[in-house]
Amino acid sequence: GGSAMAAVRAVEIDPEGTFKYILVRLQRPGGGEQRDIVRGTKAAEFLHHIFEKVNPEMEKLGYECKCLGGGKIEHNSKDKKIRVFGLSTGYGKADHSVTVEILKKEYTDYEITWSDDKK
């Protein structure tokens, strides 16, 4: 059933600060069900560290993961603002507009913007 995929949190990001993020596509092997999730943390020095953490977790649940790219997130919880920007040299730029749509579902009362700025 689709419940396991629905149980995977769409967004796991740090509550404050500026940090790297990746956009990951989960897929059932053989196609069918898929969804995109956002993961970002200051603890990750490099984006592949985030992916290396997400990937085994998702494989255990029976999903294949593909990194769709990355960038940075600036999360200001006090002002309820999130800015998505930048790119990943290794994975390429995520489609920030997709990331923003995912974030908006989670942070409904936030002002969420994106740009291709590096800083």
Contact between 39 and 22 (Cβ < 8 Å): yes
Q: What's the CA angle centered on 67, arms 46 and 85, to 5 degrees?
A: 65
- HSE-up of 99 (CA within 13 Å, CB side)? 33
Specify whether the CB–CB gap between 75 and 11 falls below 8 A: no
What CA–CA distance (Å, rounded) separates 31 from 110? 33
Q: Is 20 annotated among the ligand-binding residues? A: yes
Binding site members for substrate: 20
Binding site members: 20
